[in-house]
Amino acid sequence: MKKWEEFIFEFYEMISDEEKLVYQPIIETLINLDYTPLKKRTKGFILSFSNLAHNRVLARFGVREGGEKAFFGLRFSSCVYYSDKFANVIRERILARNNRLAKCGQCGYCKGGKHVYTYTFPDGEIKAACGAFVLEIPDVTLTDVDEIKRLIHEQHEYFMKNALYLPK
């Protein structure tokens, strides 16, 4: 058994059977796209899924220290179409005090076109947050899985087209 398989097994041991139904298809999608989990050295149990071809984290989840439920985070900054649930996550990120405003071109993280998280407020104002980060999606359920898998595929295609690591 590979080390990353042990991490996944350990994660499954920490979550309920209901949560396994949510996370198994997401993990399978990530693994099929060559994303492998790395266990973060922090309190709690956190797995970050990245692909060695571009070294970008696409998803992050785990169980926080003292927590009972799993949490889920996804990077979907290159995606255009998503439900209100995901749009509201972006809105909350933009409204957060620790939000990193999108300063495209300054940090050099984005490759290809500059993709940021954007939200259009009711008054028509459009604001953006840096797209280089995974955003935590609250209360992920089985009904969210198909959309999450679609967003994973879209973000992966963007990474493979624009962010491949090419040795000098």
DSSP 10-48: HHHHHS-HHHHHHHHHHHHHHHHTT-EEEE-SSSSEEEE
| Per-residue confidence (pLDDT) for residue 126, from 0 to 100 | 84
Instruction: Look at the alpha carbons of 80, 27, 70, 98 in this order and tell me if their dihedral is positive or negative.
Output: negative
Binned at pLDDT 50, 70 and 90, residue 168 comes out as very low
93, 87 contact by CB (below 8 A): no
User: Please, which residues bridge with residue 63 across strands?
Assistant: 45
Most confident stretch, 32-36, 78-82, 161-165: 32-36
| Per-residue confidence (pLDDT) for residue 130, from 0 to 100 | 83
Q: Over range 87-97, report the average pLDDT.
A: 89
pTM of the predicted protein model: 0.88
Token reading at 36:
């492998």
Encode pLDDT of 67-87 as tens digits: 889 999 999 998 989 999 999
